Amino acid sequence: FKAHDFKTCSQSGFCRRGRALAKRSLETQSWQSPYSIDPSTISIVDGQAVFKAGVKSSLYPDINFGLEVRVQEDGAVRVRMDEVGGLHKRYDEAASWSLIADPKISQSIQWKAGKKDIRAVYGSKKDIGVVITYEPLQITLSRGGKDQVVLNGRGLLHMEHFRKKEEAPAVEATPTPEGGEEQVVVKADNPGAWFEGAEEDALWEETWGQWTDSKPKGPESLSIDISFPNHGVVYGIPQHATRLALPTTTGENAFFSDPYRLYNADVFEHLASSPVSLYGSIPLMHAHSEESTVAVFDLVASETWIDVSHSSDKSTETHWISESGILDLFILPGPDPDAVFAQYAKLTGTAPLPAAFGLGYHQCRWNYVSSEDVRTVQKRFDEENIPVDVLWLDIEYAVDHEYFMWNEKTFPDPVEMVNDVAATGRKMVVIVDPHLKRDSNYPAFTAAQDLKVLVKPKSGEGEYEGWCWPGSSSWVDFFNPAAWDWWKSVFKPYQLEGGSWSWTKSTEDVHIWNDMNEPSVFNGPEITMPKDNIHYGGWEHRDIHNINGMLYSNLTYQAVAARSDPPKRPFVLTRAFYAGSQRFGAMWTGDNMGTWEHMAVGIKMVLANSIGGFSFAGSDVGGFFGNPEPEMLVRWYQVGAMAPFFRAHAHIDTKRREPYLLASPYKDIVYGILRLRYSMLPVWYTAFRETTVTGRPILRPQYVVFPKDKNGFDIDDQYFIGSSGLLVKPVTEKDVTETTVYFSDDQVYYDYFTFATYNGKGSHVKVPAALHQLPLFIRGGSIVSTRERPRRASSLMKYDPFTLRVALSKDGEAKGDLYLDDGETYNHQKGEYVWREFVAAKKTRNSLRISSHDLGSLKPTEAVGDSSLTTYNPKNSYAKTLDEKDVRVEKILVLGLKGNPKSVKVEGTGEDLAFEFMPAMTRAASTLVIKDPRAKITDDWTVLIQY
């Protein structure tokens, strides 16, 4: 980590001002926000829960602000504030990139004005209240009489208005203090000094290191405090390498000294525990307690710093300081994590169903050096009969790092190479980065130049030039709509009509990796673009920085989908991201290091991302930097196989470490992990289906599943996979033979492999965890569907039979669902899918019925995301294919049956089924294996067990 490459809060003018404001508020006895609502300006939109009013600051009586508070249909509250009639316009377009639609405003909720405030009460029990207090301005959301979220309760709201430079009050120039410790010298001619500080601090031009930010519009930062008076823990605001339950940054014994920063950055060899900003930003924070979960979503795209502190065990105070943009903030009322996920999903959307291969194993390295190398790697996997779905190419495939342009010396036959990989049902992912080498022979660069869609320098004229992999480069400004159609055309694997350049040396089996889209600029301030660069519409880079990466992967995603007709689901991996990026593919946690600490924090980072709505996430298996010893590599495969996105990757300076290079016994353990991943693909895919509809994450930390269990709030090293009932605790330490798992509820848990049983009820239990043992458990009451036949790639498994693990609950019952579709097209949105539920229920005291029924018909509107279908046809052509191919359940494994089975029959026909039974032993559940129940996956069926 190169600390000097990145700013601390004290090196960033507006953050320094924001923190100083907070400090003054603590030092001042009768601190009161200068902002208030002018009651004479209040207006309520007819028939809509929209409140509008003018806001004034007592410091600047001539400046006008406008406030708008909307209550949405789902009860979420949107608070917007902007300067009215200012010298310039604040950036107000973040919502158009992040939100899927303008949220629907409630038609039924009414504002009721009082003398000092206005309020709206709603909710099915009328227990939610939003109160806007006029003077000082404060907005509070409460539930059942308890305050949940309070805005400006600490009076830190401050929207710096636009001003002219000469307007500045005459203050003697004092050198900018180092370390942000400001001398407070109250000047008589500055009546606002108690609030803003006596001196101007970095309002205008600001120099840091060799870079000077011209800040042509002067100060425009935005500070707001958000308190959660009844929530003792907060989660979210990825991406930071920290614990999931966010440690404090201010107050006594603060864990970190700097605020959490959101400013997408390419951080070389980042630390394993730090509040510094990393590659992506999702300004969503959950606040949680045993009683309720709420969240705030601060829709701002500029650099943002967030301080977190606790005034007591039961409350949390946060302070958000952003450099520019309007205030556009959502309060999500919960009341539980699932409700928050749904409320957030309504705003920024859910992940689409991924291309099925995206859930397989990805083999990457910087770099497979030639097409022969790629073929050899694939051959080695096949020789060892181990599965892999995707082979990846990093930047060295491209001659001079001109993406799309194959190095013909090393990759003389790219199309043939891709076809050779595709012949075994596999895909390739090839990197395309956003920097374009300034080379007049590079068609991607010249086209962008001709279209005039390159980002401009601060002058607003010409093209910004920065340094990246290819040397001198320029960046396409994807905020410019003129770039969109062109970018979509570039990925066409065929010659375009009209002769403009397209990537003819590719096929539909090539998918895309977007890296460096923060954007990374080697010679720029903080390894990114100067903030005064100019984008489309005249906005400065500072205004849109955190959205930049999302827009790039958005356009790439569209481009890859548009290659084929009808479109196929693209796979796009991105490093930079923002709220809404979940709609455009997968992310990974960036350039991690091959250390145990990074392995451990990677899990927490993926969990934080999941909370931020971006479930399709993973860390580089093995660690990007360094040469992990075999033990570490094995553990890392266990971590990776239990993440939604499962990719091994390595830096160019590392030794090769493909699984087949390992020695015994490590090799066989890794093969076992890879096969486990492939057998569980139905679980992962079914979990994705759920998230496309509900926004609930794929990986669910303890507090999400057991929100009322306080003991689980800090646990972030074990998690559940979707609604499958699978609980995993990957080991991330050396020399471990056992580990402790926390079982929250009063339920039986079965070891996935040995069927050993554990009883929950809030116990921390020691479980075996030697190198070959992955602590993976099935919660009693779950039915898990797997495909146990090892294949070389996931596409070769699509007609394989299923195994059901029926893990009976304490009460002897269980259920689970299974979702299937072609994994490739968008036909699922037209109803081409199969969605089944399996239920094990007691029929009598001594009999158990295990049955399968169709969920598609039962809940057609809840089946898949992006579908407006209201009906479901169980005889759709996809289901028919499965029927014709005789896709069936080949085995049912019943765990925890109490009593010896006498007979197992197909209900209806009465046909006897072969079975084997192993009675329960000390700490191991009884297992009943039912052989081939003659159960087609598309049919309704019931198996009756008499015991």
Contacting residues toward another protein, per CB under 8 A: 266, 268, 369-370, 372-373, 385, 400, 409-410, 423-425, 467, 469-472, 520, 522-523, 527, 651-656, 675, 788-792, 796-797, 799-801, 890-891, 931-932
> Would you say 859 or 931 has its CB closer to another protein?
931
Q: Which is nearer to another protein, 453 or 468 (CB)?
A: 468
Whole-angstrom Cα Rg for the chain: 29
* Minimum distance, C-beta of residue 671 to another protein, in the bound complex (Å): 11
**Nearer Cβ to another protein, position 22 or 421?**
421
Q: To the nearest whole angstrom, how small is the minimum distance from the Cβ of residue 220 to another protein? A: 30
As a whole number of angstroms, the distance between CA 897 and CA 750 comes to 13
Beta strands per DSSP E along 776-856: 776-779, 782-786, 802-807, 814-820, 834-844, 847-854
- Strand, helix or coil at 777? strand
Q: Cα separation of 926 and 682, whole Å? A: 25
Kindly name the residue from 515, 526, 540, 817 that is annotated as catalytic. 515
Q: How far is the CB of 570 from another protein (least distance, A)?
A: 24
Task: List the alpha helices (DSSP H) in 695-843.
Answer: 702-705
Contact 779, 785 (CB under 8 A): no
Spell out the SS3 assignment of 504-521: CCCCCCEEEEECCCCCCC
3-state secondary structure 748-776: EEEECCCCEEEECCCEEEEEECCCCCCCE
Who's near 865: CB < 8 A, 6+ residues apart? 350, 351, 352, 353, 692, 693
CB of 215 to another protein, least distance (A): 23
Task: From 821, 823, 843, select the one nearest 833 (Cα to Cα).
Answer: 821
Is residue 902 a contact partner of residue 947, using CB atoms and an 8 Å limit?
yes
Measured from the CB atom, the residue of 112 and 379 that comes closer to another protein is: 379
Q: Is 515 a catalytic residue?
A: yes
CA distances from 788 to 16, 634, 677, 805 (A): 57, 21, 10, 12
Instruction: Specify the residue, 471 or 919, whose C-beta has the smaller distance to another protein.
Output: 471
State which residue, 467 or 494, has the beta carbon closest to another protein. Answer: 467
Smallest gap from residue 436 Cβ to another protein (A):
14
Separation of alpha carbons 81 and 191, rounded Å: 24
Q: Is 518 a catalytic residue?
A: yes
Task: Select from 568, 551, 552 the least CA-distant residue to 353.
Answer: 568
Catalytic residue, from 182, 518, 717, 832: name it: 518
Give least dist CB 316 to another protein, A: 37
By beta-carbon proximity to another protein, the closer residue of 653 and 735 is 653
Total Cβ atoms within 10 A of residue 901 = 19
What is the enclosing helix (H) or strand (E) of 671?
A: helix 666-679
Q: What is the DSSP string of 351-404?
A: PPPPPGGGGSEEE--TT--SHHHHHHHHHHHHHTT----EEEE-GGGBGGG-TT
Q: How far is the CB of 469 from another protein (least distance, A)?
A: 6
| 561 and 824 Cβ atoms separated by less than 8 Å | no
Q: Of 58 and 370, which has the nearer Cβ to another protein?
A: 370
Q: How far is the CB of 90 from another protein (least distance, A)?
A: 33
Residue 175: how many CB atoms within 10 A of its CB?
5
CB of 914 to another protein, least distance (A): 8
Q: How many CB atoms lie within 10 A of CB 485?
A: 12
**Closer CB to another protein, residue 84 or residue 423?**
423
Bridge partners (DSSP) of residue 68 are 52, 80
The residue from 307, 389, 591, 690 that is catalytic is 591
Please list the active-site residues: 515, 518, 591
